[in-house]
Amino acid sequence: MAYIKSAALEETGYVVLDRYDQAADPKEWLDLEYVDWKSSGDTRFAPIASKTGTVECGGFWTGENPRTDKDGLWIDSQVAKAPNLVRRALEPGSNVGRCRVIELQPTPYGETLYNLHQDDNNRLNPEGTGWVVRGFFNLSDDQDSFFVLRDNRTDPDGEVRIALPAGAQLIIDTQRLWHAAYHPGPDPRYCLITSWESGPQLDDYIAKHHGVSRIESVQVSDEFLAEGQRIQDEKLAARAAALAARGEREWKPVMSEA
Ligand SMILES: [Fe+2]
Please provide the DSSP assignment of 183-219 as one string: B--SSPEEEEEEEEE-SHHHHHHHHHTT-BS--PPPP
Determine the distance separating the centroid of ligand 1 and the alpha carbon of 53, expressed in angstroms.
Answer: 21
Question: Domain residues for 112?
Answer: 7-255
Burial 64-97 (b: 16+ CB within 10 A, else e): eeeebbbebebbeebeebbebbbebbeebebbbb
CATH assignment of the domain containing 216: 2.60.120.330
Determine the distance separating the centroid of ligand 1 and the alpha carbon of 173, expressed in angstroms.
Answer: 10
Cα separation, 101 vs 85, in Å, equals 9
Indicate whether 147 belongs to any domain. yes
Determine the distance separating the centroid of ligand 1 and the alpha carbon of 171, expressed in angstroms.
Answer: 12
What pLDDT does 151 receive?
97
Sign of CA dihedral 106, 143, 162, 223: negative
Indicate whether 1 belongs to any domain. no
What pLDDT does 66 receive?
94
CA distances from 63 to 21, 51, 67 (A): 39, 10, 10
Indicate whether 143 belongs to any domain. yes
50 has which bridge partners?
73
Sequence-distant (6+) residues with CB within 8 A of 149 are: 13, 14, 159, 160, 161, 162, 172, 177, 178, 179
CA distances from 154 to 112, 128, 161, 257 (A): 12, 32, 15, 19
Indicate whether 2 belongs to any domain. no
**234-253 pLDDT per residue, tens:** 999 998 888 888 888 765 55
Q: Is 238 left (phi over 0), alpha (psi -120 to 50) or beta?
A: alpha
Indicate whether 181 belongs to any domain. yes
Cα separation, 35 vs 194, in Å, equals 17
Determine the distance separating the centroid of ligand 1 and the alpha carbon of 41, expressed in angstroms.
Answer: 11
CA distances from 67 to 61, 100, 121, 124, 135 (A): 5, 18, 10, 6, 20
What pLDDT does 180 receive?
97
What pLDDT does 75 receive?
98
Indicate whether 171 belongs to any domain. yes
What pLDDT does 37 receive?
80
Determine the distance separating the centroid of ligand 1 and the alpha carbon of 117, expressed in angstroms.
Answer: 6
Domain count, the chain: 1
* Residue 132 DSSP label: E
Q: Are 75 and 54 in contact (CB under 8 A)?
A: yes
Determine the distance separating the centroid of ligand 1 and the alpha carbon of 177, expressed in angstroms.
Answer: 9
The answer, as to whether pTM is greater than 0.85, is yes
Indicate whether 30 belongs to any domain. yes
Indicate whether 123 belongs to any domain. yes
Closest CA to 56 of 80, 79, 73, 81: 73
Residue 92: asked if its preceding bond is cis (omega within 30°), the reply is no
**177-187 pLDDT per residue, tens:** 999 999 999 99
Determine the distance separating the centroid of ligand 1 and the alpha carbon of 45, expressed in angstroms.
Answer: 13
Closest CA to 131 of 30, 225, 1: 1
What pLDDT does 258 receive?
42
What pLDDT does 250 receive?
65
Determine the distance separating the centroid of ligand 1 and the alpha carbon of 181, expressed in angstroms.
Answer: 9
The angle at the Cα of 162, spanning 100 to 14, to the nearest 5 degrees, equals 70
pLDDT tens string, the chain, 258 residues long: the values are: 899 999 999 999 999 999 999 999 999 999 999 998 877 778 999 999 999 999 999 999 999 999 999 999 999 999 999 999 999 999 999 999 999 999 999 999 999 999 999 999 999 999 999 999 999 999 999 999 999 999 999 999 999 999 999 999 999 999 999 999 999 999 999 999 999 999 999 999 999 999 999 999 999 999 999 999 999 999 999 988 888 888 887 655 545 454
**190-222 pLDDT per residue, tens:** 999 999 999 999 999 999 999 999 999 999 999
Determine the distance separating the centroid of ligand 1 and the alpha carbon of 180, expressed in angstroms.
Answer: 7
